[in-house]
Structure 1
């Protein structure tokens, strides 16, 4: 059995791992690599022949794990894509959204190139390629072994993080010797709104684990509800202001809406108008409703006593662009939840354009902002930012909380590994993290006698 780490090696994005068992080739995840020094077109350059891949295992829907699947098909892959049912639907939505982003960038590239010698950036794939990809999905339930062939068996274990997200536990017969390897995908955190806690992994011989929050810890002084209550009370009730929350449409927005629903329905705050300005968020919320049985006990109990977790009296899901622009004419205190989380596109830029110079506006970041993004520039305190071809002074208040991060922190990662006995787990491979995060996690694990490897991209290991 051979493992090759082809993506998310000493970086966060581009998860892609190749497992070879007796000439059978399994690709675990196929994500877009967003590293800043790469052109998006570089994702076409696979380090293997896509036509030789027999099957893909998809841990969850996020684009850094799923976003290059249509390219894989376009380059010759003809096999099945195995995932959970929610992952299949959410991946379809995210891939279609990626096509829209590609097309928008292509149009901007063409405008810049008019009358000049200019290479137009081409879309990585089109809607047709996404629909071809969707046809390859084969959905598998959690905790039910699925036999890929005579030598390989797959089991999906729930890990929180996102609806449908799973660790892939692969049991193989390697020339008569039974071996088990688990790929964690992204590990969620305990007590996260809407989602269940990650389940324990079974005993394995090898573990490929994410390391995003290695060496970092989530705030534990306040709960999600406490932070929201304090912020909304100050911005929208004690002052006649507006609270803008940039949030990714799938996962983060649903957790936020549910938390606000609990606060308002319990009377902890007087009613405040809430706009969810993201068509993708509205559509994906229906996926959460459809898979209600996978939500946590708190959300299910709320549903029994209060009704829909993702809808309440003062909540409006904004659909048309015309209605989105009308929000700027709403002069009462309000909360605006809009994508994208790092402010690099989407309707959130319109809201920032009209509110960044509003002293009565607060922008609350609830997620990570990569270096170079508008969100990162605001968080580091830039007094002037560039939005929609204009330089604007920042008068709005900028705040941040990590309580809505769906990644487990350092302790969660360590505890995931410690589910395995150090003298029985043969090797831990750290992926999906910045190198300093991997080093911090590696040091902690080695202190407990685990054998840890931080793979270089493209390096193979015989297991």
Structure 2
């Protein structure tokens, strides 16, 4: 058995791992790599022949794990894609959105350069996404699936996103059974809407994400307590406007459910709430469709009070006309819009009209990468550029990590520490910044686990 880490090696994006067993080739995840300046070209070329891959296994739908599968198919892969049912439906939404982003990038470049041929080209088009969706075969949690006579697959819940799975592969190699697990991304306990990550069975090898290595979530207040305080200060105590940038898929659904619990319990008087993201609207329908995959808390709420994603004074914005009309609504309100880091999307329109509003609070509920508008606001820049205009920042900027979808350093440690040190032969750390990987490696080695941080393309005989 041979493992090659082809993506998310000493970086966060582009997850892609190749496992070869007796000439049978399994690709676990095939995500877009955003790390390079020429990322379109970087993702175009694979370090292996796509036609040689027998099967793709997808841990979850996020683009850094799924976003390059259509390119793989366009270049010759003709096998099955295995995932949970929610992952397949969410992946379709995200992949189609990627096509729009590719085309938009190409058109903007063409307008800027006054010619079409010199700009970046789309990695794939809608046709390739449709070809991709035809190859999905969906498997529920805890339902063993045999890939061939020597290899079987099982998905167990990872939290993090609806349908997100830890991949467990059981391999019979020359009469010896070996188990290897790929975590994908690990979620958190008690996260709104989502099930908790489940404990791994005994395994021999582990490919583990390390996004929050060396980082710890704030303890103490719950999601509802934090939101209640901010809403009270912004919309009740003073008649202001609360803007919450949130990723359309996953974060928005958890946020809406939390708001539903607050208002339906009477903890606060009603406040008009707008969800302004077409992608979020589609994703919320997927959450409704696959309701058996949500948390027990969400199921109980549904039984007692109805739809987790609907409440009085909640409005899902359908089009740009409705989105622009929000700017003319002067009563206290909450606006939830994408994208979470403020790079593009309708959120920029809301910021354009509110960044100089003393009665506006912008609440960040997720990570903002360096170089993004979100990062500039969080570091306290007094002037920012939005829609090519320099604007002074008079709005209040706040941040909380209570809705971060990643498990922190201790959560990641606990994933590994449930394993018998005598049986678990090696831990491979991926999907993290180098300093995060080193911090996690140090603490795992202190517990006597054998840990490596593989380089891209490094091959391991297991």
SS at match of 1:31: coil
Any conservation in 2 of the 1:16–1:28 contact (CA below 8 Å)? yes
Residue-pair matches, total: 462
- Whether 1:293 aligns to 2:292 is yes
- Name the structure 2 match of 1:135: 134
Q: Is the 8 A contact 2:239 2:331 kept in 1?
A: yes
| CA shift for structure 1 position 292 | 1.2
Cα distance between partner residues in 1 of 2:78 and 2:417: 38
Query: Which residue is 2:246 aligned to?
Result: 247
Contact 2:170–2:179 (Cα < 8 Å) also in 1: yes
Map Cα deviations across residues 233-267 of structure 1 (whole Å, 9 max, x no partner). Answer: 00011111100000011100000000000000000
Q: Which moved more, 1:81-90 or 1:281-290?
A: 281-290
Distance 1:118 1:124 in 2: 15
Contact 1:85–1:141 (CA<8 Å) still a contact in 2? Answer: yes
Q: Mind listing any 5+ residue stretches in structure 1 that lack a counterpart?
A: none
CA apart distance, 1:175: 2.3
Contact 1:22 1:175 in 2 (8 A): no
Residue 41 (str. 1) matches residue 41 (str. 2): yes
| 2:60 aligned partner | 60
Q: What is the distance in 1 between the residues matched to 2:215 and 2:374?
A: 20
In structure 1, how many angstroms separate the alpha carbons of the residues matched to 2:91 and 2:186? 18
Q: TM-score, normalised by structure 2?
A: 0.99
- The separation in 1 between residues aligned to 2:117 and 2:60, in whole angstroms, is 37
Contact map agreement 2:33 2:39 (CA 8 A) in 1: no
SS in 2 for 1:143: coil
Tell me the equivalent position of 1:320: 319
2:71 counterpart residue number: 71
Mapped partners of 1:120, 1:16: distance in 2: 27
Q: Distance in 2 between matches of 1:351 and 1:242?
A: 11
Match of 2:18 in 1: 18
Q: For residues 350 and 36 of structure 1, do their structure 2 counterparts lie closer, same or farther at Cα, with a shift above 3 Å needed?
A: farther
Shift of 1:294: 1.4
Contact 2:32 2:63 in 1 (8 A): yes
Separation (CA, whole Å) in 2 of partners of 1:454 and 1:224: 34
Name the CA distance, whole Å, in 2 between partners of 1:144 and 1:308. 28
Q: Deviations over 1:364-403 (max 9, x none)?
A: 1111111111111111111111111111111111111111
> 1:203: which partner in 2?
202
Give the Cα–Cα distance (whole angstroms) in 1 for the partners of residues 251 and 398 of structure 2: 17
Deviation at 1:36, TM superposition (A): 4.4
Distance 2:76 2:371 in 1: 34
Alpha-carbon deviation of 1:118? 7.5
Give the equivalent residue in structure 2 for 1:452.
451
* 1:384 equivalenced with 2:388 (yes/no): no
Matches within 5 A, 1:129-278: 129-278=128-277
Report SS of the residue matched to 2:374.
helix
Task: Give, in whole Å, the separation in 2 of the partners of 1:276 and 1:384.
Answer: 27
Note the alpha carbon deviations across 1:428-461, whole angstroms, 9 max, x for none. 0000000100000001000110000000011000
TM-score normalized with structure 1 length = 0.99
**How far apart are the structure 1 equivalents of 2:415 and 2:38?**
32
Cα contact 2:36–2:42 (8 A) shared by 1? no
The CA distance in 2 between the partners of 1:126 and 1:412, in whole Å, is 38
Distance 2:441 2:217 in 1: 19
Q: Provide the secondary structure at the position in 2 that maps to 1:254.
A: helix
Cα deviation, 1:90-134, whole Å, max 9, x if unaligned, reads: 00000001111111111101100117x972111111000000000
Note if contact 1:302-1:309 (Cα within 8 Å) is conserved in structure 2: yes
The 2-side partners of 1:240 and 1:12 are apart by: 40
| SS, match of residue 354 in structure 1 | helix
Matched, 1:419 2:418: yes
Q: Is the 8 A contact 1:342 1:369 kept in 2?
A: yes
Q: Secondary structure at the match of 1:208?
A: strand
SS in 2 for 1:244: strand
Distance in 1 (CA, whole Å) between partners of 2:72 and 2:385 is 36
- Which shifted more, 15-24 or 34-43? 34-43
Match of 1:95 in 2: 95
Unaligned 5+ segments in structure 2 are: none
SS at structure 2 position matched to 1:375: helix
